[in-house]
Amino acid sequence: MTPVTGIDFERITLRDALDLAVLIEEEARDRYEEFADQLAAHDTPEVADFFSRMARIEERHRTELLERRRTLFGSAPSAVDRRALFDVEAPGYEAARAFMGVRQALETVLAAEVKAHTFFSEALPRVKDPELKVLFQELREEEVHHQALVKAELARCSEKPDDSEAYADDPNAQ
């Protein structure tokens, strides 16, 4: 099942592809912001901070891509909108947990980066336009780079499974 609906990669233009890339980052940014809010509301501030940081990283990627799009195509209207994207680079909502540890959070991000990598890998063979191919390869490599960063952070993280849940109060009835 493709996380992008209604887009034909054989026909997509470079402009649309850039817009799509911008939106992929935007979706990821929004999701990390939501996760940050969720965890802030659930007494897990360090992970909330971590997700906020992730949101800022995604926002940076988004602005970089947006700059490129502007330089190449100005403010010509976009043919793709957010409704076409379903969790391309954004982790699924099910990934968040109250009182999750940093390690778990890193694993969530890693899984999301892997997912994005897969998306570009699967799309690439269908892309015909050479310029576009380059862009998609670049975006895919970007994901590899991110994965490496996350893996490095994971390695610095303690091996011990996270036990914050064990200390938390029981849920409250409303």
Partner 1 sequence: MNAFLAPNDYKSPLKPIWCPGCGDYGVLQALYRALSAVGRPPHEIAFISGIGCSSRIPGYTTAYGFNTLHGRALPIAQGVKLANPDLLVIVAGGDGDGFSIGGGHVPHVIRRNVDLTYLVMDNQVYGLTKGQLSPTSPRGLKTVTSPMGSLEQPINPLLTVLAYGAGFVAQATPADMPGMTALIEEAIRYPGFSFVNIQSPCITFGEEDQQLKAHKARMKPLASLGHDPANQLAALDLARAYGTELYTGVFYRNPSPPPTYDALVRQRQVELQKGEPRSRSRVLDGYLKA
Closest CB to partner 1 among 34 and 59?
34
Contact 47, 105 (CB under 8 A): yes
Closest CB to partner 1 among residues 73, 99: 99
| 94 interacts with partner 1 by CB under 8 A | yes
Q: Is 39 in the site for partner 1 (CB under 8 A)?
A: yes
Report the site for partner 1 in 47-76 (rule: CB under 8 A): none
37 is an interface residue for partner 1 by CB under 8 A: yes
Q: Which of residues 106-165 bind partner 1 (CB under 8 A)?
A: none
> 4 with 119: CB under 8 angstroms?
yes
* Structural element, H or E, at residue 119: helix 102-123
Using rule CB under 8 A, residue 82 touches partner 1: yes
CB of 169 to partner 1, least distance (A): 12
Nearest approach, Cβ of residue 171 and partner 1 (Å): 6
**How is residue 75 annotated by DSSP?**
T
Residue 32, H or E segment:
helix 14-41
Question: d(Cα 61, Cα 95) in Å, to the nearest integer?
Answer: 22
Which tokens go with 67?
């700059």
Candidates 52-60, 91-99, 136-144, 154-162: pick the segment binding partner 1 (CB under 8 A): 91-99
Is residue 97 within 8 A of residue 105, CB to CB? The reply is no
For residue 32, how many C-alpha atoms fall within 13 Å in the half-sphere facing its CB?
Answer: 25
**Which residues contact partner 1 by CB under 8 A?**
1, 3, 5, 30, 34-35, 37-39, 41-42, 81-83, 86-87, 92-98, 100, 171-174
